[in-house]
Structure 1
């Protein structure tokens, strides 16, 4: 009878569960597999053996190896991957606190998933590569210790996780720096006296914006005019220019109109909300931010006061 032995120092129950799931599918094809379990030192071993008269056929042997490889590749990606990521973080970034390491692990998961709903596709791609590597190994071997296989036969996979961790650390540090910057701006806004009662912020496409009063007219302010003179020749992006202008005006309250913005994440809106907090209201549509008027916004500092 043909048999394959799988060894591991941890997670034997989840491996057995995945093997049971795969072998139930295999049984639908008329092939029954028995699983025996034993221990050698710190390692547990599962012996997967075909049961039946055709146990020696090349077809059933190939099926067994494929279903074992499928189960193990799934365990590595779906069960072990997060622990592998945490091990990499502990080894390379031990100077972060435990909570920070947890956040970096979350960021790494996002990095590996790519854009939002792509999680399934990215995970399937990694599983497919590991599955083929397992199949190649099991074509010539009847015993596999999973930790050794991951460490020595999946170096490219480990390197992919290491790269994802490095990118996640960069993202984590940038976001931490951003949060601290927003906290300081918010503190500055809270301690200064408001210079104007209310401002409407019209956010247009490609970073353009306008600051208007309740009648839709351009805001006129001596402080703002001095600010524009100082900023007009500097290399500042429009989001920085907008936040700086609002801090200069120091409005008691502000209404943000986003009808001119494309759908999706809006960093300008998130920054305004972070800095001005409950002073901020989002408009869901009015005469001031109608498409006709919002479309006239120009990405120029002159639009702040002309």
Structure 2
């Protein structure tokens, strides 16, 4: 019984390798290792892979089609996914925004780059594509891989579109954040200093102490209303720190922290670039950091 014939583009799918992978899977799943034959034949438009299962029952044929679907799905993902993603990204971002497309692509790669068995995102894509392949082969005996991708692989393509949409959202939020930081940075740049210096003592997580040049606490409630509106209506504690510092406009800002890689510290240093200095163990901050850490 001829189960199916595949037409693959050898530039994208290694016909010999996929035929061997399907032979192994079919032989194990249908317990017909000696009866299954996969031969490669030249066809117009690429390489044909013909699967023949001698003397197979309908139950064995169904198991064989299911077994063949997963390695074919994996080969399609390996051969075509990058191109498919790039098309989705170009549609979402615009063909002319190469920088934006590259940033979205990098975001997609964080989620989709792994093609290792067991990776949840990979397994989900393989399962959706394999399910569509199995359903198609139950009805048809000839599968043109590129035509199938275009017209019958909607569950898998929808998964890619969802991933791209998520990546675009992340990219847009990051771009807006960077534009906002640049605005605050410019606002600080054009402001004249109101106090000689300020100290931000970061005790970890959301625990901060703000001190003026005389090492007296700065009242975080005394914020410029314009700055508050500039930051956000849903203001976080980190926003309070930033907005207070912008409002008091120190000529010099000393940031004392033992965790300088935390995002809030990086943000403060970026906004007050040129005025800010980072330290982790000076005579001012060391006693305070040790005192708070020992509580």
TM-score, reference length from structure 1? 0.70
Structure 2 residue aligned with 1:200: 200
Coordinate RMSD, CA, aligned: 4.2
Contact (CA 8 Å) 2:228, 2:243: kept in 1 or not?
no
Aligned length: 279
> 2:105 aligns to what SS in structure 1?
helix
Structure 2 residue aligned with 1:77: 77
Match of 1:227 among 219, 223, 230: 223
Give how far 1:17 is off. 2.9
Range with greater deviation from structure 2 (138-147 or 61-70): 61-70
Contact (CA 8 Å) 1:204, 1:295: kept in 2 or not?
no
Structure 2 residue aligned with 1:6: 6
Structure 2 residue aligned with 1:272: 268
Give how far 1:145 is off. 1.2
What CA distance in whole angstroms lies between the structure 2 residues aligned with 1:15 and 1:254? 63
TM-score, reference length from structure 2? 0.72
Contact (CA 8 Å) 1:201, 1:255: kept in 2 or not?
yes
Contact (CA 8 Å) 2:227, 2:243: kept in 1 or not?
no
Contact (CA 8 Å) 1:82, 1:105: kept in 2 or not?
no
Q: Does 1:147 align with 2:149?
A: no
Q: Any idea what the Cα deviations from partners look like across 1:247-290, whole Å, max 9, x if unmatched? A: 3343534234367x9xxx94423312432458443638943224
Aligned ranges 1:1-306 → 2 under 5 Å = 2-9=2-9, 11-14=11-14, 16-24=16-24, 30-31=33-34, 33-40=37-44, 43-50=45-52, 55-58=54-57, 61-62=61-62, 64-94=64-94, 96-110=96-110, 120-189=119-188, 195-197=195-197, 199-202=199-202, 205=205, 207-212=206-211, 217-220=215-218, 227=223, 235=233, 236-247=235-246, 248-250=248-250, 252-257=252-257, 266-277=262-273, 279-281=276-278, 283=280, 286-290=286-290, 293=292
> 1:287 aligns to what SS in structure 2?
helix
Contact (CA 8 Å) 2:19, 2:49: kept in 1 or not?
no
Q: Any idea what the Cα deviations from partners look like across 1:128-161, whole Å, max 9, x if unmatched? A: 1222222222233221112222232222332332
> 2:252 aligns to what SS in structure 1?
strand
Cα distance 1:88–1:61, how it changes in 2: closer, same or farther (>3 A)?
Answer: same
Give how far 1:229 is off. 8.3
Range with greater deviation from structure 2 (3-12 or 64-73): 3-12
Contact (CA 8 Å) 1:200, 1:214: kept in 2 or not?
no
Give how far 1:94 is off. 2.2
Cα distance 1:228–1:190, how it changes in 2: closer, same or farther (>3 A)?
Answer: closer
Range with greater deviation from structure 2 (30-39 or 141-150): 30-39
Give how far 1:69 is off. 0.8
Contact (CA 8 Å) 2:256, 2:279: kept in 1 or not?
yes
